[in-house]
Structure 1
Amino acid sequence: MRAATLTAFGSPLEVLDAPDPQAGGGEVVVEVLATGVPPYADEVFSGERRYPLEPPVVPGVGGVGRVVSAGPDATKLSPGDLVWCDCTVRARDDALTPDITLQGWSSRGEGGARLARHLHDGSFAELMRVPTENVHPLPASADPVRWSALSVHTIPYGGLLAGGLAAGETLLVSGATGNLGSSAVAVALAMGAGHVVVPGRNQAALALLADRFGTRVSPVELTGDDDADRAAMGEHGPVDLVLDLLPPQAPSSVARTAAMTVREQGRVVLMGGVGMLGGADLALPYPWIMRNSITVRGQWMYPRSANVGMIRLIASGALDLAPERITTFGLNQVNEAVAHAAAHGGPFDRTVLTPAA
């Protein structure tokens, strides 16, 4: 098979020949039809984000493909099945706190690094070896290129599940004008959110969200004045849940201001990258959290069951993928794809690699 390989941080990806992967027990080999290229992929490959990848490695964050072969413990998957391959891999020897790796992308702790060495390569290849439990059947009519957006939408869906978003509630998405943040707006409305407050400084992105979703979305243009911004975000009624998806470059003050718009007994879910490149801590006030009975929790990625829930939201039409802008690249154009993704990281703008084309 051919695979796009990161040979060293700071070097362009190289499309190289590699042995075809073989499925062992508990594994599936999939032909990769489409895989999303994250807007920040260039920051990962340059080493700027300091992700614990170990080159040489085939990167990638899951994808849509067809089953080639499955291990003997797969009882329902068959060759030719159209499937979604989730990159969030959990170790099988600790049900309570399993080590986690994002296959071909990142990992957590030494246990996650060990897991990453076993499932080393991701989806920027013609074939990929995936744990059986990470392979989810898709409708036969699903367009692989459009459905590769599962790699984006499932992440904020995990945060909304963690925050217990209920139908009719008001959500504030911190980082709403970005790729993940705009996804959170669409997913929340598909889940039945009554109203979504979308703060940001990108006027064009705010206008796009308002145009797509109408009166259920309230844009708030941020000024950088914490008190004024908090007041403006709170003008649209009590906020039940705040979901933070700000990138690592964002100052902690922006995340803190958004978090503190939540109502008494409200919830705050942190999923972004604030502080990962250094800088001030989030520093939410202890008295405010305690006296207002605020729940603050972190959420990295999503539970396995979120994949099924997300597939159902799309298959039912509750989440419409049709308005999303998609640009596709073949495997030989992988570096062009990475550059394009970096330049097109706004709302509902997808860069997709099609390795098997």
Structure 2
Amino acid sequence: MKAAVLTQFGAPLEVRDVPDPVAGSGEVLVEVLAAGVAPYAAEVFSGKRQYPLVPPVIPGIGGVGRVVQVGPDSTRLRVGDLVWCDSTVRSRDDALTPDITLQGWSSRGEGGARLARYMHDGSFAELMRVPTENVFPLPATAGENPARWAAVTVHAISYGGLLAGGLAAGETLLVSGATGNLGSSAVAVAFALGAGRVIAPGRNQAMLELLADRFGPRLCPVTLTGDEAGDRAAMSVAADCPIDMVIDLLPPSAPSSASRAAAMTVREGGRVVLMGGVGMLGGDDLALPYPWIMRNSITVRGQWMYPRSANVGIIRLIGSGTLDLAPERTTSFSLAAVNDAIAHAAAHGSPFDRTSITPVDD
């Protein structure tokens, strides 16, 4: 098969012939129809983000495909099924605290690194080997535009964060990083889940206007200045009601003060979910005040990726039209043009701007 291979950090991906993967027991072989390209993929492949990928590796974070082969432990999947392949692979020998690797992308700790050495390659290829429990059936309509459905990668992450925070219908949510690719997804998913109001802070006025145009008066944009106290006050005023939950999805380049300003707008008894990259590349710690957390009964929770059940939930939201993908702009590239796709994704990371690779078009 053909695959895009990262041979070393800082080098372009090479499209080459590699051996077909072989699925063993507990695994499924999938023909990849579409794989999303993250806006920060160029930072990963350059080494800037310091992800624990070990070249040579076929990268890629999940994808849409058709089942080619199933293992003996699969009782529902059939060859030819249209499926979503989740990249969040968990070890099977610890139900409470499993090690995790993001197949073809990243991992956590030594256990995750060991798992990554086995489940090494991702979705930038014609075929992909996936654990059986990471394969989820898609509605037949997804086959009409697999590249658009590759956005499940983005929406599942924000959905997982909203599940972790227990967002309830009618609640007010503040999305820190709302003008980014992932933050804007959280805005869309929150409204699909019935949020009463979403506060969207950001510095990019054009992106704030885009969000306001799409979601109407329940979306409250806030232009940030970089002054921590002033920004916190502005976000609170824009909400015009208690903020029940804050989800932080800011990138590594953002200062911790921006995350802190957003987090500290939450009401007494509120929840804060941290999912972004602040501090991953150095910089100050978040440093939320102990007395404020304790005296206001604040729940602060970190969340990396999402539980397996989130895949089913987000597929249902999209399949029912409750989360509408139609307004999203999807640009597709062939596998041979993978480096063009990476450059395009880096230049088009605005809200609802997606980039996909479609290997079967080659």
TM category (shorter chain) comes to: over 0.9
Q: How much has 1:92 moved relative to structure 2?
A: 0.1
Cross-structure match for 1:262 = 266
Cross-structure match for 1:25 = 25
Cross-structure match for 1:124 = 124
TM-score scaled by structure 1?
1.00
Cross-structure match for 1:326 = 330
Q: Equivalent residues in 2 for 1:123-272 (5 A)?
A: 123-142=123-142, 143-235=145-237, 236=239, 237-272=241-276
Equivalent-residue separation in structure 1 for 2:209 and 2:199 (angstroms): 13
Equivalent-residue separation in structure 2 for 1:108 and 1:215 (angstroms): 40
Letter in 2 for 1:343: A
Q: How much has 1:225 moved relative to structure 2?
A: 1.2
Q: Does structure 1 residue 284 correspond to structure 2 residue 288?
A: yes
Cross-structure match for 2:37 = 37
Equivalent-residue separation in structure 2 for 1:117 and 1:43 (angstroms): 22
Q: How much has 1:22 moved relative to structure 2?
A: 1.2
Q: How much has 1:54 moved relative to structure 2?
A: 0.3
Equivalent-residue separation in structure 2 for 1:96 and 1:174 (angstroms): 30
Equivalent-residue separation in structure 1 for 2:77 and 2:38 (angstroms): 28
Cross-structure match for 1:97 = 97
Equivalent-residue separation in structure 1 for 2:25 and 2:252 (angstroms): 38
Cross-structure match for 1:300 = 304
Q: Deviations over 1:274-310 (max 9, x none)?
A: 0000000000000000000000010000000000000
Equivalent-residue separation in structure 2 for 1:298 and 1:63 (angstroms): 25
Equivalent-residue separation in structure 2 for 1:271 and 1:150 (angstroms): 17
Q: After TM superposition, which residue ranges in structure 1, 4 or more long, deviate above 3 angstroms?
A: none
SS in 1 for 2:121: coil
SS in 1 for 2:188: helix
Q: How much has 1:182 moved relative to structure 2?
A: 0.2
Equivalent-residue separation in structure 1 for 2:218 and 2:116 (angstroms): 41
SS in 1 for 2:360: coil
Q: How much has 1:355 moved relative to structure 2?
A: 1.1
SS in 2 for 1:74: coil
Q: Deviations over 1:6-51 (max 9, x none)?
A: 0000000000111111111100000000010000000000000000
Equivalent-residue separation in structure 2 for 1:186 and 1:327 (angstroms): 20
SS in 1 for 2:140: coil
Equivalent-residue separation in structure 2 for 1:27 and 1:248 (angstroms): 34
Equivalent-residue separation in structure 1 for 2:53 and 2:226 (angstroms): 35
Q: Deviations over 1:200-219 (max 9, x none)?
A: 00001000000000011000
Equivalent-residue separation in structure 1 for 2:67 and 2:19 (angstroms): 17
Q: Deviations over 1:70-120 (max 9, x none)?
A: 111111111110000000000000000000000000000000000001010
Equivalent-residue separation in structure 2 for 1:176 and 1:318 (angstroms): 20
Q: Does structure 1 residue 315 correspond to structure 2 residue 312?
A: no
Q: Does structure 1 residue 340 correspond to structure 2 residue 344?
A: yes
Q: How much has 1:247 moved relative to structure 2?
A: 0.1
Cross-structure match for 1:14 = 14
SS in 1 for 2:331: strand
Equivalent-residue separation in structure 1 for 2:111 and 2:227 (angstroms): 42
Q: Does structure 1 residue 64 correspond to structure 2 residue 68?
A: no
SS in 2 for 1:95: coil
Q: How much has 1:141 moved relative to structure 2?
A: 1.5
SS in 2 for 1:356: helix
Equivalent-residue separation in structure 1 for 2:348 and 2:307 (angstroms): 28
Q: How much has 1:164 moved relative to structure 2?
A: 0.3
Letter in 2 for 1:319: L
Cross-structure match for 1:81 = 81
Equivalent-residue separation in structure 2 for 1:159 and 1:304 (angstroms): 13
Equivalent-residue separation in structure 1 for 2:342 and 2:30 (angstroms): 23
After the TM superposition, which of the residue ranges 135-144 and 304-313 deviates more from structure 2?
135-144
Cross-structure match for 1:110 = 110
Letter in 2 for 1:350: R
Q: How much has 1:317 moved relative to structure 2?
A: 0.8
Letter in 2 for 1:270: L
Equivalent-residue separation in structure 2 for 1:292 and 1:24 (angstroms): 52
Equivalent-residue separation in structure 2 for 1:123 and 1:224 (angstroms): 38
Equivalent-residue separation in structure 2 for 1:244 and 1:224 (angstroms): 16
Equivalent-residue separation in structure 1 for 2:272 and 2:61 (angstroms): 26
Equivalent-residue separation in structure 2 for 1:309 and 1:326 (angstroms): 22
Equivalent-residue separation in structure 2 for 1:141 and 1:309 (angstroms): 17
Equivalent-residue separation in structure 1 for 2:336 and 2:148 (angstroms): 20
TM-score scaled by structure 2?
0.98
